[in-house]
């Protein structure tokens, strides 16, 4: 249906995030780099904190932790519906 989001539609194949850090930065940048409620020292940390605050990623965020493609799709759909 129209509400189906495929990774190929959303991103070039080379840009599909493989880690939580990559996914956090993609979501954060697509949202316009909003600042989280708790200030962070780096953009990567701000992206991670903001994604946790939005409920896209868990509190146990680890930048190098692998994210399966099905989770990337679910989180991208969640973020798309929030806009």
pLDDT in tens for each of the 83 residues of the chain? 445 555 556 555 557 899 999 999 999 998 999 999 998 999 999 999 999 999 999 999 999 999 999 999 899 889 988 86
Q: Which two tokens stand for residue 66?
A: 């692998």
Question: Taking the model in full, what pTM does it have?
Answer: 0.80
Closest-CA residue to 16 (of 77, 81, 79, 68): 68
29/38 Cα distance (integer angstroms): 17
Please, are residues 37 and 26 in contact by the beta-carbon 8 Å criterion?
A: no
């Amino acid at each position: 249906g129209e509400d189906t989001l495929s990774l190929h539609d959303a991103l070039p194949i080379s840009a599909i995030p493989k880690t939580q850090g990559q996914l956090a930065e993609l979501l954060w940048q697509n949202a316009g780099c909003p600042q989280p409620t708790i200030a962070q020292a780096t953009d990567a940390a701000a992206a991670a904190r903001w994604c946790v605050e939005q409920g896209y990623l868990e509190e146990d965020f680890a930048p190098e932790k692998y994210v399966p493609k099905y989770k990337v799709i679910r989180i991208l759909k969640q973020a798309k519906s929030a806009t």
